[in-house]
Structure 1
Amino acid sequence: MTGSQALTGSAKQTVRRSVRAVGRLTHEARMVPDFLIVGAQRGGTTSLFRYLRAHPAVLRDRMDKGVHYFDMAYERGFPWYRAHFPLKATARLVERRVGVRPQTFEASPFYMFHPLAPERIARDLPGVKLIVMVRDPVERAFSAHAQEVRRGFESEPFERALELEEERLDGEIAKMVADPSYLSFAVQHHAYRARGRYAEQLERLEGLVGRERIHVIDNQDLATSPESVYDGVLTFLGLPGGQYPAFERHNAAPRASKLSDAVRRELSDYFLPEDERLAGWLGKPPSWR
């Protein structure tokens, strides 16, 4: 990192701290999220986030894609969370311009998998709508591993990381439930198979908020029919249609290696009953099946 890059990073952190401080002082005058993108990690959430923030009636979190309040920062309290969002006065000005009540949101893809986040969301944001993105869990796991390697959170090759997953996660969820302040590195960074068990996560969300407040998007559909998927999201949120955003892929990264056929088959077999359970929830098979 060059000196100018370090300075830029430091300046950004200073700006963030200043914005948060002002936000906390004015939190009661700020919006709360109307909807959240809650997962899945490496499922296309960054692309969808950018498509939605381009809508004239959508106001985003002021600094970041995801606040990670309900998973990583819950002890900071709701005023801290609310400090991230636009002022109600800003929303009123936008409403006069666009003719509909603006909505605000954030996207934190750990929310759906985190053992405590869904219940916290249901309790603190009554009426919030949830958007879930699903992707071929084999590809999702491989992509997640590549990301953790890039970020320095994983040192094992993919096959070995899969072998270690059960051992790494053993008892971690129980610790998080027993001690809400406990942050599990393994659950956040090494749950390659577990995060791809979508049906159990959707069933848990449904039990907390109801199916009518959950909208599921297949990543492949977003890639091949973005206009149709985008229209469906706007209908779910009660937002008007209009000009489409630029449907570009975001947060994609080149792979340093190729997934072997043997590992692909093993994972595909592992996820088969999980995908059948997902098909039952969705009422149709996911695209990868």
Structure 2
Amino acid sequence: MTVLDRIKNAAPRGARDQVRELLVRYGEKTAAQRPLPDFLVIGTKRGGTTSLWRYLIQHPLVPRLFPAWNTKTSHYFEENWARGEAWYRSHFPTRRQRAALERRHGGPSKAGEAAPLYMFHPLVAGRVADLMPQARIVVLLRNPVERAYSHWKERRGEGVEPLGFAEALAAEDSRTAGERERLIAEPGYFSEAFDWYSYRARGRYLEHLEPWLERFPREQLFVEASETLYREPAETYARILRFIGLPEHDLGSYDVFNDRPSKGMDPQVRAELTAYYRPFTAALEERLGRRFGWE
């Protein structure tokens, strides 16, 4: 446990918030000494990004975000864009800290974050390309039917979704109407509805991946099925490490984090979603030149 973790655990919530704010300010003041991240995991939501992030930060050359009790993302490119680049840099280690890691472990350090809304937000690809054109982009794509149901179960569990799954799908268009357009028109705007209730829309993967494909060369994009990560975690993790530019590191065990199994979906709803996504998946597979095997 780090000193920062001990402070967090020992202090009351109000004091923790104050300490964290002081550390954020310190990070901003030292932003010029903090390189931008090397990689981003951009999605998809409910597609294994939490598990992958946990695997990545167990690598000795992947530092956690700063302050140390941040989870997997700063939410800069979608929710905190107005805070500016110095605020974003404040979340990553200094050159001196990275050099110390490299001396200790004998390899290149690679910093990053995992934010599943990044792929879905209409402005993020352009923002990342402008600020970090050399970044390596990791994408996990899950069977869109299973992803939608898992997304709904998460919202139900968090107490922000009063509707059943079929009803939530039917209400999605009205709940999110105009939100994408407003995000584009107002760069500082953040939409909870666009994030929370986009069950069906998020599974139209090519629509959201295309801006990244247009802005980044294919060698900077790693796209894999979430099911492959679940089925072959060690092999998939090793390939992602090579893609990012990190030396091999065997974790020994690869637990699944933040799992919400999709058992219990109404068969009629499943059949409708399967038919709905079929042409979108076909277009994705043609664009990428590979099969996902979700059917």
**What is the TM-score with the length of structure 2 in the denominator?**
0.91
Amino acid aligned to 1:34: D
Question: Where does residue 70 of structure 1 map in the other structure?
Answer: 77
Q: Please, which of 276, 280, 283 is the counterpart of residue 289 of structure 2?
A: 283
Instruction: State whether residues 38 and 112 of structure 1, in contact with CA within 8 Å, keep that contact through their aligned partners in structure 2.
Output: yes
Displacement of 1:245? 5.0
Task: For structure 2, list consecutive stretches of 5 or more residues without a partner in the other structure.
Answer: 1-8
| 1:44 to 2:48 alignment | yes
Distance 1:245 1:123 in 2: 38
Kindly provide the CA deviation profile for residues 202-243 of structure 1, in whole angstroms up to 9, marking residues without a partner as x. 221010112221101211111111111011101111211132
Which residue does the alignment assign to 1:252? 259
Partners of 1:35 and 1:131 within 8 A in 2:
yes
How far is the alpha carbon of 1:287 from its aligned partner?
A: 3.1
Does the 8 Å CA contact 1:218/1:287 hold for their aligned counterparts? Answer: no
CA contact (8 A) 1:34 1:129 kept: yes
User: For 2:113 and 2:79, how far apart are their aligned partners in 1?
Assistant: 14
Q: Residues of 1 paired with 2:128 and 2:78: CA distance?
A: 10
Change (3 A) 1:141 1:8: farther
Partner in structure 2 of residue 221 of structure 1: 228
| Per-residue CA distance 1:38-75 (angstroms, 9 max, x = gap) | 11111000000000111111112122211100000000
Contact map agreement 2:65 2:93 (CA 8 A) in 1: yes
- 2: distance between equivalents of 1:164 and 1:211? 36
Q: Residue 47 and residue 245 in structure 1: after superposition, are their counterparts in 2 closer, same or farther (change >3 A)?
A: farther
Question: How many angstroms does 1:130 deviate by?
Answer: 0.7
Say whether the 8 Å CA contact 1:220–1:287 is kept in structure 2. no
The answer to whether the Cα contact below 8 Å between 2:61 and 2:110 also exists between their aligned partners in 1 is yes
Aligned residue identity for 1:241: E
1:278–1:286 Cα contact (<8 Å) kept? no
The counterpart of 1:115, out of the listed 102, 119, 122, is 122
Query: What amino acid does structure 2 have at the position aligned with 1:50?
Result: R
CA distance in 2, matches of 1:113, 1:204: 10
Q: In 2, Cα distance between the equivalents of 1:225 and 1:12?
A: 39
2:277 counterpart of 1:271 = yes
User: The residue matched to 2:77 in structure 1 has which SS?
Assistant: helix
Matched AA of 1:19? L
Q: CA offset at residue 188 of structure 1?
A: 1.0
Output aligned runs, 1:1-289, within 5 Å.
Answer: 8-62=12-66, 63-244=70-251, 246-253=253-260, 258-289=264-295
Separation (CA, whole Å) in 1 of partners of 2:71 and 2:191: 23
Q: Which amino acid aligns with 1:23?
A: G
Give the Cα–Cα distance (whole angstroms) in 2 for the partners of residues 11 and 146 of structure 1.
33
- RMSD between aligned residues: 1.8
Deviates more, 1:14-23 or 1:46-55: 14-23
Q: Residue 31 of structure 1 aligns to which amino acid in structure 2? A: P
Q: Return the letter of the residue paired with 1:52.
A: L
Describe the SS at the equivalent of 2:160: coil
Native 8 Å contact 2:126 2:211 kept in 1: no
Q: Secondary structure at the match of 2:47?
A: coil
**Structure 1 stretches (4+) deviating beyond 3 angstroms?**
7-12
What is the one-letter code of the residue matched to 2:99?
A: R
Q: CA deviation at 1:11?
A: 4.1
2: distance between equivalents of 1:92 and 1:193? 44
1:131-177 C-alpha deviation (Å, 9 max, x unpaired):
11110111110111111122232211111110011122222211111
Partners of 1:258 and 1:101 in 2: CA distance: 45
Q: Secondary structure at the match of 2:156?
A: helix
Instruction: State the Cα distance separating 1:32 from its structure 2 match.
Output: 1.3
- The answer on whether the counterparts of 1:51 and 1:246 sit within 8 Å (CA) in structure 2 is no
What fraction of aligned residue pairs are identical, expressed as a percent?
A: 38
Deviations 1:117-139 (A, max 9, x none): 11111111120111111101111
Quote the Cα distance in structure 2 between the aligned partners of 1:23 and 1:91.
15
Between the aligned partners of 2:237 and 2:261, the Cα distance in structure 1 is 26
The answer to whether the 8 Å contact 1:54/1:245 transfers is no
Aligned residue type for 1:176:
L
TM-score, normalization by structure 1: 0.93
